[in-house]
A and B are shown apart, each in its own frame.
Chain A
Amino acid sequence: AAGVIQSPRHLIKEKRETATLKCYPIPRHDTVYWYQQGPGQDPQFLISFYEKMQSDKGSIPDRFSAQQFSDYHSELNMSSLELGDSALYFCASSFGQGYNYGYTFGSGTRLTVV
């Protein structure tokens, strides 16, 4: 069965650089969520999209932006990177905002800022 695809798997950037993370949801899933997981931390919600519109916003810095495209894939853009942005970034997808069918997570992108 198709899963949630995230790319790249690993990314190393220098401070003040820009990074773009991509997420391809399971076919026919209309909702995408982005989470950030620091070392030893539980995943923290960043932002979500439902039917290509932003549906909710969490603890996402102003330096980050995201969107969901017409094919339902999503991109998280991170600018002016800081050392503290080093983390695992997960994308999850669901059908109908997860109320009935739960969420499926991708394998994550490990971002290291040096």
Chain B
Amino acid sequence: KQEVTQIPAALSVPEGENLVLNCSFTDSAIYNLQWFRQDPGKGLTSLLLIQSSQREQTSGRLNASLDKSSGRSTLYIAASQPGDSATYLCAVTAGNQGGKLIFGQGTELSVKP
């Protein structure tokens, strides 16, 4: 059974720092991995989608990497801003579980001005 773990559970950094969020999954048979952002009580906004054949994806200050063989992904946020404060969730589309997303429990990020 696929399990997704995110470390750390919470992170507080001063504005301007570069930071890395970690995601690991137990079964490497995935179709893709997606990073989402969630503001308190709000919906999920897709940030980056990495197909299983890809190593990384970039969007603005965000860069996500994927190492399928080791079951790991990282989300790199450059020059963090207070507006980046949110919960970041990673999720995998498992190859043998009907295409549904399996989520980690998220990293709650706080960027202090």
- Asked whether, in the complex, the Cβ of B101 is within 8 Å of the Cβ of A103, the reply is yes
Say whether B113 faces chain A, with CB atoms less than 8 Å apart: no
Q: Which of B14-22, B37-45, B59-67 contacts A (4 or more CB under 8 A)?
A: B37-45
Interface string of A47-69 (1 = CB under 8 A from B): 01010000110100000000000
- Asked whether, in the complex, the Cβ of A103 is within 8 Å of the Cβ of B46, the reply is yes
- Asked whether, in the complex, the Cβ of A98 is within 8 Å of the Cβ of B99, the reply is yes
- Asked whether, in the complex, the Cβ of A90 is within 8 Å of the Cβ of B41, the reply is no
Which of A42, A45, A108 sits near B100, CB closer than 8 Å?
A: A45
Interface string of A28-47 (1 = CB under 8 A from B): 00010101000001110100
Query: In whole angstroms, what is the CA distance A35 to B32 when docked?
Result: 19
B contact residues, range: 20 to 34
Interface string of A86-114 (1 = CB under 8 A from B): 00101010100111111111111010000
- Asked whether, in the complex, the Cβ of A92 is within 8 Å of the Cβ of B97, the reply is no
- Asked whether, in the complex, the Cβ of A42 is within 8 Å of the Cβ of B105, the reply is yes
Interface string of B88-108 (1 = CB under 8 A from A): 010001000111111111100
Q: Which of B67-113 contact A (CB under 8 A)?
A: 89, 93, 97-106
- Asked whether, in the complex, the Cβ of B93 is within 8 Å of the Cβ of A90, the reply is no
Which of B32, B41, B99, B103 sits near A48, CB closer than 8 Å?
A: B99
A97 contacts across to B, CB distance below 8 A: 98-99
- Asked whether, in the complex, the Cβ of B100 is within 8 Å of the Cβ of A56, the reply is yes
Interface string of B42-56 (1 = CB under 8 A from A): 111110010100000
Residues of B within 8 A of A (CB): 31-32, 34, 36, 41-46, 49, 51, 89, 93, 97-106
Known: A45-B100, A56-B99, A102-B49. 4 other contacts (CB 8 A): A42-B103, A98-B31, A102-B32, A102-B34
Residues of A within 8 A of B (CB): 31, 33, 35, 41-43, 45, 48, 50, 55-56, 58, 88, 90, 92, 94, 97-108, 110
